[in-house]
Amino acid sequence: MHFSIDEYAKVFKISHEMIHNKLKTKKLNSIIQNGTIYIVVPHNTLSAEQKNSQYETSKPQSSPPTIAKSNVGIIISLYQKENHHLKLKIKELEAKIDKLIDNKEQMLIEERNRIEEIYISKDEQLKNILEVLSSKLALAPKTAVHDVDVSQPEPSITLNQNGLLELKRYLKFIGIGSEERKIIRNRFTARYGSDIRIIQKEGTFYVDLSKYDYTDLL
């Protein structure tokens, strides 16, 4: 019988190193076939156990057992359940995202409406202020008639070389009484330095009617 070195090591249970030593010392008969060393052992010298061992090493190994169809079905079923679970999770996340987007859009709409209401309110306030100023301008001459001091001659308006008009003369000309003139002068004094319309020279206030409107101070 012919044994390869691996088969001989399994059957006779000795190491490869010992086999190579025996081959070198010619203690084992061997032949070379197709570049492979085979050890020649007479069949009648083998024990029953060695013959069985030789048979086991020479027979082809069986292929790995195939997976039963039932197991394949179980695996497929598990994958399907997992995929279904993942699809549900994806739908839940998409629903949450849609809800967040809707909430954000609603917040933006509410904020826009709030800003529009503020602007509308400011517009209404501005209209009211303009109406009040207009009414004051319309009523100013009539009120001046009652406050005119008839004991004094009607003052005349004279402009200085810069085109400015003295505040006191201007107030007298439009018929503002002495008490109201004091109040208006106090307003000019409080605004002096912070309001470009307030002009003062040598302690005297002036108005420039060609450039500015003073109705809010009268």
Amino acid (1-letter code) at residue 150? V
Tokens of 128: 């009211």
Are both 142 and 81 inside the same structural domain? yes
Domain span at 114: 77-147
What's the total number of domains in the chain? 3
Show which of 120, 147, 174 is a domain's final residue. 147
* Inside any domain, residue 129: yes
* Inside any domain, residue 83: yes
Contact 145, 183 (CB under 8 A): no
Task: Output DSSP code: residue 13.
Answer: T
Amino acid (1-letter code) at residue 118? I
Task: Output DSSP code: residue 46.
Answer: S
Are both 86 and 143 inside the same structural domain? yes
- Please determine, for residue 98, whether its predicted confidence score (pLDDT) is greater than 80: yes
Angle between helices 5-12 and 16-24 (to 10 degrees): 110
Are both 195 and 143 inside the same structural domain? no
Integer Cα distance of 14 and 6 in angstroms: 10
Contact 192, 206 (CB under 8 A): no
Tell me what pLDDT residue 180 has.
92
Are both 162 and 201 inside the same structural domain? yes
Among candidates 5, 25, 31, which has minimal Cα distance to 16? 5
Sheet of 30-33: strands edge to edge? Answer: 2-4, 36-40, 30-33
* Inside any domain, residue 120: yes
Tell me what pLDDT residue 55 has.
54
Tell me what pLDDT residue 149 has.
47
Contact 160, 170 (CB under 8 A): no
Plot region of 116 (φ>0 → left; ψ -120 to 50 → alpha; else → beta): alpha
* 170 CB burial (10 A radius; 0-12, 13-18, 19+): buried
* Inside any domain, residue 69: no
pLDDT digits (tens, 9 = 90+) for 1-17: 788 999 888 888 889 99
**What's the whole-model pTM score?**
0.30
Are both 190 and 130 inside the same structural domain? no
- The whole-angstrom distance between residue 104's C-alpha and the CA centroid of its chain comes to 13
Show which of 87, 120, 147 is a domain's final residue. 147
Task: Enumerate helices (H) and strands (E) in the chain, giving the number of each.
Answer: 6, 6
The lowest-confidence range among 11-20, 21-30, 45-54, 189-198 is 45-54
Are both 95 and 156 inside the same structural domain? no
Are both 140 and 87 inside the same structural domain? yes
Show which of 103, 132, 147 is a domain's final residue. 147
pLDDT digits (tens, 9 = 90+) for 109-162: 988 888 888 878 777 777 777 877 776 666 655 444 444 444 444 455 566 666
Plot region of 14 (φ>0 → left; ψ -120 to 50 → alpha; else → beta): beta
pLDDT digits (tens, 9 = 90+) for 72-94: 778 888 888 888 889 998 988 99
Integer Cα distance of 199 and 167 in angstroms: 9
* Inside any domain, residue 121: yes
* Inside any domain, residue 22: yes
Among candidates 174, 170, 167, 169, which has minimal Cα distance to 204? 167
* Inside any domain, residue 71: no
* Inside any domain, residue 205: yes
Contact 66, 60 (CB under 8 A): no
